[in-house]
Structure 1
Amino acid sequence: MLLSLLWVFVSLNIVFADVLSIYTPGVLPQVMEGVVEGVALSETLMLIAAVFIQIPLAMIVLTHLLPPRGLKLVTTVAALVTAAFVIGGGSLKPHYIFFASCEVLALLTILRQTWRRDA
């Protein structure tokens, strides 16, 4: 149950970091123009982002469905990929750094909990 709750925490932080980013002064006009902080928005980029965002969402359910051995492997890969997405795809705005720090701390806790289990 703890792993699932931590994945919910990570997922919500990802969502709210993005929501608050839209309210940062000057960002909404960039979104409307299709280029945010020098990154061109495209359908392909949105699909890639959707795949990365789906990983922690899927882990909420998979923590309850996978056998312990499979869970260890899948959780490790999911946590590392999600951390790379959060760190590599983020911004240096203070609110984002705060959210990303919370997400990475939760991901490290997920990894620690996963590897402490007997499986």
Structure 2
Amino acid sequence: MRARLSAAWVFVMLNMVFADILSFMSPGALQQVLAGTAEGIQITPAFLLVAAVVAEVPISMVLLSLLLPQRTARWANIGAAVVTVAFVLGMGSATPHYVFIAALETLGCLAIAWWSWTWRPAEWRAPSARLATDM
């Protein structure tokens, strides 16, 4: 289960990165960023800090899914999936490529939340046994 969750976070994270890369290819996007705005939002140091913190959630979960104790990992995955979906849906654009990728990110986060919610006690293991058998 841990490897599955970690891999799902890699899937979500890579989709987030490619959504941003493709967004920079939209006509006028680079000019907006150079002018200090993005999709009508003023780019400030505070905005960049919030964006960095929110982007760090799926990045951190790749590792934390493998290392946290099971009960903590379960709730961390659920919470991180909710935060990530809120960010994806709340901060995105309505361009076709973004809507498509955001749908995949959302499905990935829903799968993470479901797998975490249904993670059965029979799968709970000590950290040393967990890493040896899940990899």
- TM-score scaled to structure 2, two decimals? 0.85
Which residue of 69, 72, 78 corresponds with 1:76? 78
Once residues 40 and 48 of structure 1 are traced to their aligned partners in structure 2, the CA distance between those partners, rounded to angstroms, is 13
Once residues 36 and 63 of structure 1 are traced to their aligned partners in structure 2, the CA distance between those partners, rounded to angstroms, is 32
The Cα of 1:37 is off from its aligned counterpart by: 2.1
The answer (yes or no) to whether the contact 2:12–2:58 under 8 Å persists in 1 is: yes
The alignment of Structure 1 onto Structure 2 pairs a total of residues equal to: 119
Q: Look up the match of 1:54.
A: 56
The Cα of 1:96 is off from its aligned counterpart by: 0.5
The answer (yes or no) to whether the contact 2:75–2:116 under 8 Å persists in 1 is: no
Once residues 109 and 96 of structure 2 are traced to their aligned partners in structure 1, the CA distance between those partners, rounded to angstroms, is 20
Q: Percent identity?
A: 45
Q: Look up the match of 1:103.
A: 105
Q: Look up the match of 2:93.
A: 91
Once residues 5 and 92 of structure 2 are traced to their aligned partners in structure 1, the CA distance between those partners, rounded to angstroms, is 24
The answer (yes or no) to whether the contact 2:78–2:113 under 8 Å persists in 1 is: yes
Which residue identity is paired with 1:22?
A: F
1:1-41 CA distances to partner (integer Å, 9 max, x unpaired)?
11000000000111110111011011111111011221111
In structure 2, runs of 5+ residues without a counterpart are 122-135
Once residues 38 and 55 of structure 1 are traced to their aligned partners in structure 2, the CA distance between those partners, rounded to angstroms, is 24
Once residues 69 and 36 of structure 1 are traced to their aligned partners in structure 2, the CA distance between those partners, rounded to angstroms, is 39
SS in 2 for 1:100: helix
The answer (yes or no) to whether the contact 2:92–2:98 under 8 Å persists in 1 is: yes
RMSD of aligned C-alpha atoms? 0.8
1:69-110 CA distances to partner (integer Å, 9 max, x unpaired)?
111111111010010000001000110001100000000111
- TM-score scaled to structure 1, two decimals? 0.97
Once residues 57 and 36 of structure 1 are traced to their aligned partners in structure 2, the CA distance between those partners, rounded to angstroms, is 23
Q: Look up the match of 1:23.
A: 25
In structure 1, runs of 5+ residues without a counterpart are none
